[in-house]
Amino acid sequence: MCQLAAYVGDRPIAPLLLRAIELQEPYFGAHASGLGVIDDGVLRVEKDAGYVARVKETTDIESLGGTTGIAHSRYNSTAKDDPRYNTRRMSHPFVDCTGTLCLMHNGGIANYKDHWERLRGRHKFTSYEAEIDAITDSEVAVHLLEEAVGEGLSIEEGLRRMAPQLTGSFLLACISSEEPETVWIANWYQPCVVAVGDDEAMFCSSHIGFTEVRDELDRIFEPPKNSLLKLTRGRVEMKPLDPGRRIPDLRLDMNELGRLIMDVLQRKGEVDFRVLWYELNPDGWARAYGITPEEWQGLRKMGVSIVNPYIATLDMLLAEGKIRRRIDRRLEGGVEGTPRFTYSLA
């Protein structure tokens, strides 16, 4: 689970997008941070392992400019405990072999090794780490899209062709120097919030990413799942992504989930965002959605993510004064000071 942001418009792009992922990173994220921009028709990328404040010190990420960009805060469960899987190479976003496409991913592509074996003979995988003989699952997506575009498909057509080829969970966001003021988002069932303003558009994984610009934007909303989004100046276009996927009809009982969260905090004391999520899995989540644990596990295998409803419930409890939240800093992915939201009873 990662936290992402993107923007098209005239605001200073590096401060805007870095702040957006910095606000989100204490949920899931902060193992690595990266920014890709289109600046005067040229694609530029800066990235490194670590949370935003650290990557500002180790790279020239704050110098990036332009009117279109994508930013990524990476979380990887393996990298959390093994720094060999948390390197600059494995940070997002990724650039294709032509140097014109830039892509980032949220989720987990279950069948990435099959794609890697098929693609590795004709593409350079820049995330490859020889010591562990591994790449990030996400990098296969940029090369799949590269091949589709190379065959004459548009980015929209390429993303739509790719979607049925990917199993697991995914939201893909990409920019291209060939379409310098467009952000494309292909989202199966990951967190996705978009905003439209006067001659600008923005995307964040979670609502908190809009905190400092919320009052300056006209509309902030969550698009339908299984959507292909096109963000341009002052506009968000939405189309179905993969007609072959059935969108689950999930109805969350926030009051029930709130009670279950309170029960965990009563038993465990102070718990971070991730641990609390897993304390509720699978029985608690099944109860909150009114389904069986087996049905819940099946939805998870389908790539269904419910992070934003979880965050909304926590925010409800915070607003009601029932729980507290603080940022705890710890060693993760070989980086000291990684921020994590931690919750306790008020």
Indicate the pairing of strand 94-95 with strand 168-176: unpaired
Distance CA 333, CA 331 (A): 7
- Phi, psi dihedral angles at 235 (to 5 degrees): -155, 140
Cis, bond preceding 180 (omega within 30 deg of 0): no
The answer to whether 228 and 185 are in contact (CB under 8 A) is yes
pLDDT of residue 279: 97
Amino acid identity for residue 225 in this structure:
K
pLDDT of residue 1: 84
Indicate the pairing of strand 42-49 with strand 3-8: unpaired
Say which CATH class 254-345 falls into: mainly alpha
Kindly tell me the number of DSSP H helices and DSSP E strands found in the chain.
Answer: 11, 16
4-16 confidence digits (pLDDT tens): 999 999 999 999 9
* CB crowding 55-66: b at 16 or more within 10 Å, else e: bbeebebbebeb
135-189 confidence digits (pLDDT tens): 999 999 999 999 999 999 999 999 999 999 999 999 999 999 999 999 999 999 9
Decide: helix, strand or coil at residue 311: helix
User: Which residues face 171 on adjacent strands?
Assistant: 106, 187
68-87 confidence digits (pLDDT tens): 999 999 999 999 999 999 99
Per-domain residue ranges of the chain: 3-240, 254-345
Does an H or E element contain 187, and which?
strand 179-187
Decide: helix, strand or coil at residue 4: strand
Decide: helix, strand or coil at residue 189: coil
Say if residue 304's pLDDT is above 90: yes
pLDDT of residue 82: 95
CATH number, domain 3-240, options 3.60.20.10, 3.80.10.10, 3.50.50.60, 3.40.190.10: 3.60.20.10
Mean of per-residue pLDDT scores for the chain: 97
The answer to whether 48 and 41 are in contact (CB under 8 A) is no
Q: What percent of the chain has pLDDT over 90?
A: 99
Distance CA 137, CA 143 (A): 11
Average pLDDT over residues 228-238: 98
pLDDT of residue 308: 96
236 band by pLDDT with thresholds 50, 70 and 90: very high
CA atoms within 13 A on the CB side of 143: 21
238-291 confidence digits (pLDDT tens): 999 999 999 999 999 999 999 999 999 999 999 999 999 999 999 999 999 999
Quick one: which of 30, 27, 40, 36 has its CA closest to 7? 36
